[in-house]
Structure formats: structure tokens, C-alpha cells
């Protein structure tokens, strides 16, 4: 028996704003979308176009208040082939929320407060 990652999910308040963030900040593109028959939710699956793993954005029609992320001790991580170029772009956009130069990583924050770790593709 083998298991393989399929996707991770995060819930978002503004689906289009979040999809735009992930497209502009990380180059993720919409792979598929599922809308509930009654319109109560929309799922958007984002792909990097390289791996089969996807990020699922879930929008709930009746949700109006921000999500409580607690201590936000969880995060996504992505590798980038041009680390310095990515960091410059993210700093220019004002989305870098934490840098750990000693470890050679940094984090960006999405519109809902989720953190994404950026790591160099090759060390």
C-alpha cells in the first residue's frame, strides 16, 4: 500500500484575491474548479505545472469573518530556482513577513494570513 500527497487545503475569504496572490507571488495556476450546486462553496485547485501536488483554496459563501489561524505554526513550503530574484520580487510586493538569513529561507504571507516558506531549489 502506498500513499502520495494529492493536495493541501486552505480556506479563504476572497477567492479571487487569494487566487491572484498565488498566481502573482508563486506562479500557481488554476487547474480545476468545483462549485457547489447551491453555491455554498467553491473549491479552486492551483497547480505549479511541475508536480502533481495542488493547493486547494476553499471559499465558503456564508463565511464573513477572518479565519482564526491560532499561532499559525503550520505553513506551506515551495522551492524556487532563482531565490534572490524571488526574494526581491516578494519584497517589492511587500509580502515578505519573516526572513531567516542564517537558514537561507524566508516566508511570505497571503491575504488570509497563511505563511508560505520560500526555499532555494538547489543548495
**pLDDT for 73-97, tens place per residue?**
889 999 999 999 999 999 999 999 9
Q: Which CATH superfamily is domain 74-123 in?
A: 2,3-Dihydroxybiphenyl 1,2-Dioxygenase, domain 1 (3.10.180.10)
The beta-strand segments (E) located in 29-109 are 29-35, 41-47, 54-60, 76-80, 96-100, 105-109
Q: Long-range contacts made by residues 38-47, C-beta under 8 angstroms, separation at least 24?
A: 42/15, 44/15, 44/19, 45/7, 46/19, 46/22
Q: Indicate if the pLDDT at residue 57 is higher than 90.
A: yes
Active-site residue 117, yes or no?
yes
Contact 36, 42 (CB under 8 A): yes
* Of 30, 56, 99, 117, catalytic: 117
Domain 1-62 matching CATH 3.10.180.10: the answer reads yes
For the chain, the domains span 1-62, 74-123
pTM: 0.91
Amino acid at each position: 500500500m502506498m500513499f502520495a500527497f494529492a493536495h493541501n487545503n486552505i480556506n479563504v475569504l476572497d477567492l479571487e484575491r487569494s487566487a491572484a496572490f498565488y498566481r502573482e507571488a508563486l506562479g500557481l495556476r488554476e487547474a480545476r474548479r468545483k462549485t457547489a450546486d447551491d453555491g455554498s462553496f467553491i473549491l479552486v485547485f492551483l497547480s505549479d505545472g511541475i508536480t502533481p501536488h495542488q493547493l486547494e483554496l476553499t471559499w465558503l459563501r456564508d463565511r464573513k469573518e477572518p479565519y482564526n489561524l491560532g499561532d499559525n505554526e503550520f505553513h506551506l513550503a515551495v522551492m524556487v530556482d532563482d531565490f534572490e530574484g524571488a526574494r526581491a520580487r516578494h519584497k517589492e510586493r511587500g509580502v515578505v513577513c519573516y526572513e531567516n538569513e542564517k537558514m537561507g529561507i524566508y516566508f511570505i504571507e497571503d491575504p488570509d494570513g497563511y505563511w508560505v516558506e520560500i526555499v532555494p531549489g538547489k543548495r
